[in-house]
Amino acid sequence: MKTIEHWINGTYSPAGERTASVTNPATGKVTAQVALASVQDANAAVAAAKAAFPAWRDTSLTRRTQILFAFRELLNARKGELAAIITSEHGKVLDDALGEVTRGQEVVEFACGMPHLMKGSYTENASTTVDIHSVRQSLGPVAIISPFNFPAMVPMWFFPVAIAAGNTVIIKPSEKVPTAAVWMAELWKEAGLPDGVFNVLQGDKVAVDSLLTHPDVKAVSFVGSTPIAKYVYQTATAHGKRVQALGGAKNHMIVLPDADLDLAADAAINAGFGSAGERCMAISALLAVGDIADELVAKIAQRAKALRTGDGLRGCDMGPLVTSVHRDKVSGYVDAGEEAGATLVVDGRAVAPDAEGDGFFVGPTLFDNVTTDMSIYSDEIFGPVLSVLRVDSFDDALATINANPYGNGTAIFTNDGGAARRFQNEVEVGMVGVNVPVPVPMAYYSFGGWKNSLFGDTPAHGTEGVSFFTRGKVVTTRWVDPSHGGINLGFPQNA
Ligand code: NAD
């Protein structure tokens, strides 16, 4: 059986003693083994990134962005291959995998503009004959630790910006989906990226801990569940690093009584069950305001029952969950919801999937009459389970969202501009949609939540992403002539 290896200094680096199984979630079959790094493997990856850094930092912006353009062209031409890899290891349907690659590619396109994004400013005659200018410089080796649910897009939120800005990178992908990262490493090599600038370290906690504590790693970008994000933030900042740690989510959608209920039902289906709910921007709680709930729930139920669940290569609407453990966890939440007294309108536990073998399927599941004390509401389930909560007013809906510890994404469905405006102004969430259920910002804006959905203060990509991967320097210059002589111990003042 194939073993998926590390990629260090421009070539594959073999696995040591520890490995883990990689599974196709649609069939339940183990398809490969993946290397799990030792501390020595991690040290080798960081050493490669450190050695490559000075030359890459000093490579002209013109040359750096030429390589990014070449990577973009290769990715665009071959994105189907990457999408197929994602479907085979993650399970999401092929169209959705292609969509993920396209959204990642948009960050590559954004980073192709790095010559403009890294421009500093210049002030002539700030003081008499004194000029000041600012520059932004790269940091050094940076670590990117990514989750299973976006094997290509989430690493691409970070590495195009980091690399274009002159840093070198060590990616630690999720051990559940290890192939996408090494596929992209080969693409970088073909695009002309020097060896050591992009490294892939496969592994688990050993690899992560090594990166978080290694003195030569200057910054850490993490995406994953909230407890691990918090741990990563605390550990890496305690080791003097810059950290952006994006965590979990519980995203709410409000439907006001004046909304078009058919459009709202379509949106709830797309955002609740796309990628089997394994998206950090999935809608998992729908707040139905006023007396629309019966009609809205009926419309969502009708649509949910019509969805085809199965192998992502068979043109189905929804694929499997990532592992059998996760499937059992999601089913366990459905059991708990029933026991707590919520109304189970559509039950995905007994789904008959369109797939061969023994895949990890739960079909679309819809609960009504959910309350905030139930675990199906309070916990991030990360599966195709949509909970409807009935609330009396807009104010109750807004208060419910603002009381939730997560703050990643949210959406309001209404035709009332005033209500929408008040919502986007008062809601304590980082990414807001108005009649848009999955408001993932474009690459030139930044992606990131509030509260327990982001630790550290810098979100991904956009100009804030550029700031994260660079540090500022301000230079004050005077070209001296004899009139500048003399002793003065006072604090420098402008004149
Ligand atoms: P996870 O937290 O289990 O794993 C994320 C990464 O951390 C992986 O690379 C994993 O190997 C590593 N890891 C796991 N346990 C660790 C430990 N004990 N110590 C050190 N490292 C560890 O997350 P996941 O299950 O892969 O991904 C799903 C989660 O990611 C969900 O909570 C989802 O909301 C979140 N997510 C958030 C965003 C966002 O933008 N906020 C985006 C995508 C996913």
Q: All domains of the chain, ordered by start, with CATH? A: 3-247+453-476 (3.40.605.10), 251-434 (3.40.309.10)
Rounded distance between C-alpha atoms, residue 422 and residue 406, angstroms: 20
If one residue of 208, 222, 284 were mutated to test the ligand 1 pocket, choosing by the most ligand atoms within 8 A of its CB, it would be 208
What's the confidence (pLDDT) of residue 111?
98
* pLDDT band per the 50, 70, 90 thresholds, residue 495: confident
- Which positions ≥6 away from 237 have C-beta within 8 Å? 243, 456
232 or 480: which leads in pLDDT: 232
* Beta strand 141-145 pairing with 219-223: parallel
**Candidates 145, 197, 245, 280; catalytic one:** 280
What's the CA-to-centroid distance between 377 and ligand 1, angstroms?
Answer: 20
What's the confidence (pLDDT) of residue 480?
85
- Ligand 1 pocket at CB < 6 A: 145-150, 154, 172, 174-175, 204-205, 208, 223-225, 228, 246-249, 280, 380, 382, 408, 449, 453
What's the confidence (pLDDT) of residue 358?
96
HEC string of 367-403 equals EECCCCCCHHHHCCCCCCEEEEEEECCHHHHHHHHHH
What's the confidence (pLDDT) of residue 406?
98
pLDDT digits (tens, 9 = 90+) for 141-170: 999 999 999 999 999 999 999 999 999 999
pTM of the model as a whole = 0.98
pLDDT (mean) for 388-395: 98
What's the CA-to-centroid distance between 205 and ligand 1, angstroms?
Answer: 11
Which amino acid is located at 3 in the chain? Answer: T
Q: What is the mean pLDDT of the chain?
A: 97
Q: HSE of 459 in the Cβ direction (CA atoms, 13 Å)?
A: 21
What's the confidence (pLDDT) of residue 488?
87
Measured between its terminal Cα atoms, the distance across the chain in Å is: 74
If one residue of 177, 204, 210, 329 were mutated to test the ligand 1 pocket, choosing by the most ligand atoms within 8 A of its CB, it would be 204
What's the CA-to-centroid distance between 319 and ligand 1, angstroms?
Answer: 20
* pLDDT band per the 50, 70, 90 thresholds, residue 326: very high
What's the confidence (pLDDT) of residue 486?
87
What's the confidence (pLDDT) of residue 404?
98
What's the confidence (pLDDT) of residue 361?
98
Q: How many residues does the chain have?
A: 495
pLDDT at 293 over 90: yes
If one residue of 228, 329, 381, 410 were mutated to test the ligand 1 pocket, choosing by the most ligand atoms within 8 A of its CB, it would be 228
What's the confidence (pLDDT) of residue 115?
97
- Closest Cα to atom 18, ligand 1: which residue? 205
Rounded distance between C-alpha atoms, residue 183 and residue 75, angstroms: 10
Rounded distance between C-alpha atoms, residue 298 and residue 425, angstroms: 31
Quick one: which atom of ligand 1 is closest to the CA of 209? 20
pLDDT (mean) for 7-33: 97
Which one-letter DSSP state was computed for residue 320? Answer: -
Rounded distance between C-alpha atoms, residue 233 and residue 240, angstroms: 11
What's the CA-to-centroid distance between 259 and ligand 1, angstroms?
Answer: 35
pLDDT (mean) for 182-196: 98
What's the CA-to-centroid distance between 85 and ligand 1, angstroms?
Answer: 20
- Which positions ≥6 away from 126 have C-beta within 8 Å? 132, 476, 494
What's the confidence (pLDDT) of residue 225?
98
What's the confidence (pLDDT) of residue 484?
77
Q: Determine whether 316 is an active site residue.
A: no
What's the confidence (pLDDT) of residue 485?
83
34 or 487: which leads in pLDDT: 34
The candidate with the shortest Cα–Cα distance to 201, out of 156, 169, 232, 239, is 169
